């Protein structure tokens, strides 16, 4: 039985459509002259709210926050500016006939008319600089909650003490003050929900204001207006898309529950637009650079569109826990037609090979434009996109790789591997799998919904593996609860605990058909947990925050405490312990296309001779632990003198493994043995990968904002066969929007050189990333650091505001 309150369920993951299946997203429609009422989204659902459908434990406390009720569509626009993400699709009616003008259509003499507003929203303006949003390629105002910002209001006459000025912000379909979706801020007085505005300067017809925002404000895109009241009458500034205000979470604000008290962490986990993602095996760690691109134009709209697409109530968007949970569900396409379609089949003919992506921008913008899931993703792609979305929204987030990551399918909290009487794997029984690596995310926040001691890093996993409360999402889960085996803490702690700290249990079939535990491998799961280091491109191990030292009393207690809540609580009481022959596997570092050799080393740790009957089975495997059929095996009897070691080698030629090779170029060696003298059983699974070459990138001229620059890409085909339908990808935030290059075929062992031009739009140190993909070879990448000098005058190309909105309009899916 799964632990209570964990939320994670197992079983047949691909057949569960989830509780959101009945809450289908309704696309925006172009308004007609005689608009019809919007259909009730909750029809046929018994009136249940978003929270009831999304998370049972939140249904009661959040049911009143469901603000997506039916309403007229008469004010809907049909493009991104008129109906941007989180604008709610509706402009509140300014009622010009009663509030703006007199009955004859003229403005009354003496009325305090707002002739314009300057939100100081340019990337070079003080607001954007102080709120750390100056890198966003937007000219609208982007601020972080809990932090003041300035504006200038232009009036038709000087401001007088008898005048009343009120600022108003709206978000959602039915803005209400009580839900925080309608914010009213009387200037010089206290506003609603902790907002307030003060006059800092009044000069002529200009009124300078400083506005203080609430540290738990709703995040999203707000519409903004100004109302005035004077003896001559009332006036309301008409809504202008250029005056819309984006509000984000604020890790710089101590009152915000996402607050991070280290500036170097904020620079790395919020503001860094690129990072390293690690893959391969524990002994052969590979790395690739990923372009998060959270500040690229259109990405912020895409992130807010995700929340809109799922129908998340605007009132719930103040809570980072709920936002993370929705993002985790929406990054994958199961249940809800989210961003990415997962594909582990090896056939990517209808989309993009997951290994070919170099960043998140192309994926997110495609989803924003078309509203359809993008093919295809695997764990590092899901995690890379999740990092982009959460950093963009203001959450400190990092990408985590766990090597030898377990996938527990039966809630036993152990990895069970079954063998026949001769210790040959029984693949039809081996439903649990151990991924060579798995990539997820950590994000930083307080957890007011949990007891004290569980703040800090929280795991969020967007890869669809098992359902949680009926939905393919996972987390946020406190890393502290994982470390101590507290699998009853929400969300999804049992599943994540098993990924990093379960034991591998080897079961052998006996003569009567029953199974017996013959070996327990205690250090096989979660053997290495890493992320990119703060402030450098080095790799940092973070295993210690996920688990106590292997073999320590605390670690054993955590494992056995967790297992006691699983479906096989007594597994540790039936293990045997005779172990005097040690086994070790060695695999040489080889490049795809080369011959290789794997070795097994046996060591007799006893004072008596030992005879070992050894079996070696070699197969290719996907990185998810799903292996193909055995294509080479070796059987040998080894006699060991007391204290002696013996090496058994198995050579493997390229022609032997070529036809079997799958994604990631990984092989699995199953080793089993039996010691005649004491019935000890030896068992070991060892994965190793074949390396792929890197792309070599060279900058051919200095990079300056607004000036054309050129990069050279060089690739050497390591295979003696022709690579067909070769595709290069090139991307870099502030340098190059996602670009695809079809290069045709590359002959066996041939060298090719490409040159590409690009025009930087933002200054500073940046990363230009490239990849190569073909049916014969994938996982080929390269990166170069580009130091971009500012243009003459020191302005970036993205800072072109004047009095207009952002120059590029990205259409929204319809």
With a CB cutoff of 8 Å and minimum separation 6, the contacts of 663 are 346, 353, 355, 622, 623, 778, 779
Q: What is the DSSP letter of 372?
A: S
Cα–Cα distance, 705 to 796 (Å, whole number)? 6
461 in active site: yes
Nearest to 689 by CA among 278, 279, 284: 284
Cα–Cα distance, 235 to 229 (Å, whole number)? 7
Q: What is the DSSP letter of 330?
A: H
Active-site residue, from 297, 314, 438, 686: 438
555 is in an annotated binding site: yes
Q: Which residues pair with 136 in a beta bridge?
A: none
* Structure tokens, 496: 């994540």
501 is in an annotated binding site: yes
16 in active site: no
Element (H, E) at 764: strand 764-773
* Structure tokens, 584: 């070790």
Q: What is the DSSP letter of 137?
A: S
Strands 504-509 and 467-468: unpaired
Cis peptide before 491 (omega within 30 of 0): yes
Q: What are phi and psi of 656, to 5 degrees?
A: -80, -35
Cα–Cα distance, 79 to 468 (Å, whole number)? 35
CB 791 within 8 A of CB 706: yes
Cα–Cα distance, 171 to 193 (Å, whole number)? 15
787 in active site: no
3-state SS, 505-567, equals EEEEECCCCCEEEEEEECCCCCCEEEEECCCCCCEEECHHHHCCCCCCHHHHHHHHHHHHCCC
Q: What are phi and psi of 219, to 5 degrees?
A: -90, 150
Phi-psi region of 727 (alpha: psi -120 to 50; beta: other; left: phi over 0): beta
Element (H, E) at 444: strand 433-445
Q: What is the DSSP letter of 321?
A: H
Active-site residue, from 461, 663, 796, 799: 461
Q: First and final CA of the chain: distance in angstroms? A: 43
CB 1 within 8 A of CB 567: yes
Active-site residue, from 58, 253, 324, 379: 379
CB 427 within 8 A of CB 400: no
Annotated binding site: 501, 503, 550, 555
Annotated binding site for Ca(2+): 501, 503, 550, 555
Residues with catalytic roles? 379, 438, 461
């Amino acid at each position: 039985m799964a632990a209570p309150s964990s939320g994670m369920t197992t079983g047949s993951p691909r057949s569960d459509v989830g509780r959101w299946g009945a809450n289908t997203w309704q696309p925006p429609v172009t308004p007609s002259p005689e608009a019809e009422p919007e259909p009730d989204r909750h029809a046929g659902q018994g009136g249940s709210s978003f929270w009831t459908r999304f998370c049972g434990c939140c249904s009661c406390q959040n049911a009143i926050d469901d603000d997506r009720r039916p309403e007229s569509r008469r004010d809907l626009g049909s493009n991104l500016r008129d109906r941007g993400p989180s604008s709610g699709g509706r402009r509140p009616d300014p009622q010009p006939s009663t509030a703006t003008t007199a009955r004859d259509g003229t403005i009354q003499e003496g009325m305090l008319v707002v002739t314009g507003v300057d939100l100081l929203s340019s990337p070079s303006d003080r607001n954007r600089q102080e709120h750390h949003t100056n890198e966003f390629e937007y000219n609208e105002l982007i601020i972080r909650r809990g932090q003041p910002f300035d504006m200038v209001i232009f009036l038709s006459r000087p401001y007088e003490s008898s005048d009343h000025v009120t600022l108003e912000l709206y978000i959602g379909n039915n803005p209400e003050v009580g839900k925080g979706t309608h914010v009213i801020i009387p200037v010089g007085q206290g506003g609603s929900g902790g907002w307030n505005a003060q006059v800092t300067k009044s000069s002529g017809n200009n009124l300078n204001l400083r506005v203080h925002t609430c540290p738990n404000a709703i995040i999203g895109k707000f519409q903004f207006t100004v109302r005035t009241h004077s003896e001559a009458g009332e006036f309301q500034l008409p809504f202008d898309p250029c005056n819309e205000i984006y509000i984000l979470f604020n890790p710089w604000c101590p009152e915000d529950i996402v607050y991070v008290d280290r500036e170097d962490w904020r620079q790395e986990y919020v503001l860094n637009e690129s990072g390293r993602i690690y893959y391969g095996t524990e002994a052969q760690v590979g790395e690739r650079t990923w372009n998060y691109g959270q500040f690229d134009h259109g990405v912020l709209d895409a992130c807010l569109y995700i929340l809109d697409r799922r129908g998340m109530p605007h009132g719930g968007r103040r809570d980072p826990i709920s936002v993370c949970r929705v993002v985790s569900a929406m990054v994958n396409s199961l249940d809800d037609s989210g961003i990415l379609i997962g594909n582990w089949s090896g056939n990517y003919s209808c989309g993009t090979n997951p290994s070919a992506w170099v960043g998140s921008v192309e994926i997110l913008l495609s989803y924003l434009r078309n509203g359809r899931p993008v093919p295809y993703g695997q764990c590092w792609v899901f995690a890379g996109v999740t990092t982009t979305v959460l950093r963009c929204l203001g959450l400190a987030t990092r990408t985590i790789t766990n090597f030898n990551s377990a996938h527990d399918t039966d809630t036993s909290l152990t990895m069970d591997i079954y063998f026949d009487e001769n210790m040959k794997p029984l693949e039809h029984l081996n439903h649990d799998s151990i991924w060579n690596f798995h990539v997820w995310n950590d994000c930083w926040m307080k957890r007011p919904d949990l007891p004290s001691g569980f703040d800090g890093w929280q795991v969020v996993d967007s890869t669809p593996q098992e359902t949680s409360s009926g939905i393919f999402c996972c987390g946020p889960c406190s890393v502290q609860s994982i470390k101590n085996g507290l699998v009853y803490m929400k969300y999804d702690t049992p599943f994540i605990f098993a990924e990093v700290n379960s034991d591998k249990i080897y079961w052998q079939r006996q003569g009567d058909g029953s199974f017996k535990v013959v070996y327990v491998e205690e250090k096989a799961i979660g053997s290495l947990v890493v992320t990119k280091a703060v402030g450098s491109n080095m790799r940092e191990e973070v295993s210690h925050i996920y688990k106590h030292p292997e073999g320590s009393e605390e670690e054993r207690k955590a494992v056995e405490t967790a297992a006691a809540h699983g479906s096989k609580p007594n597994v540790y009481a039936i293990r045997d312990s005779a172990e005097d022959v040690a086994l070790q596997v060695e695999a040489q570092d080889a490049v795809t296309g080369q011959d290789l050799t794997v070795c097994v080393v046996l060591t007799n740790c006893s004072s008596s001779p030992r005879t070992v009957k050894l079996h070696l089975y070699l197969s290719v495997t996907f990185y998810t632990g799903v292996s193909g059929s055995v294509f080479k095996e070796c059987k040998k009897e080894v006699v060991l003198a007391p204290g002696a070691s013996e090496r058994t080698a198995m050579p493997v030629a390229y022609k032997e493994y070529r036809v079997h090779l799958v994604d990631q170029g990984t092989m699995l060696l199953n080793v089993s043995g039996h010691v005649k003298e004491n019935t000890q059983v030896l068992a070991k699974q060892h994965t190793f990968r074949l390396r792929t070459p890197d792309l070599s990138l060279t900058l051919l001229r200095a990079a300056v904002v607004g000036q054309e620059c050129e990069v050279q890409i060089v690739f050497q085909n390591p295979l003696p066969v022709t690579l067909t339908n070769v595709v290069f990808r090139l991307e870099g935030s502030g340098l190059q929007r996602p670009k695809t290059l079809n290069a045709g075929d590359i002959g066996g062992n041939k060298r090719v050189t490409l040159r590409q031009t690009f025009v930087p739009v933002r200054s500073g140190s940046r990363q230009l990333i490239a990849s190569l993909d073909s049916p014969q070879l994938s996982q080929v990448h390269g990166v170069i650091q580009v130091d971009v000098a500012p243009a003459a005058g020191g302005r970036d190309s993205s800072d072109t505001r004047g009095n207009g909105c952002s120059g590029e309009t990205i259409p929204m899916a319809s």
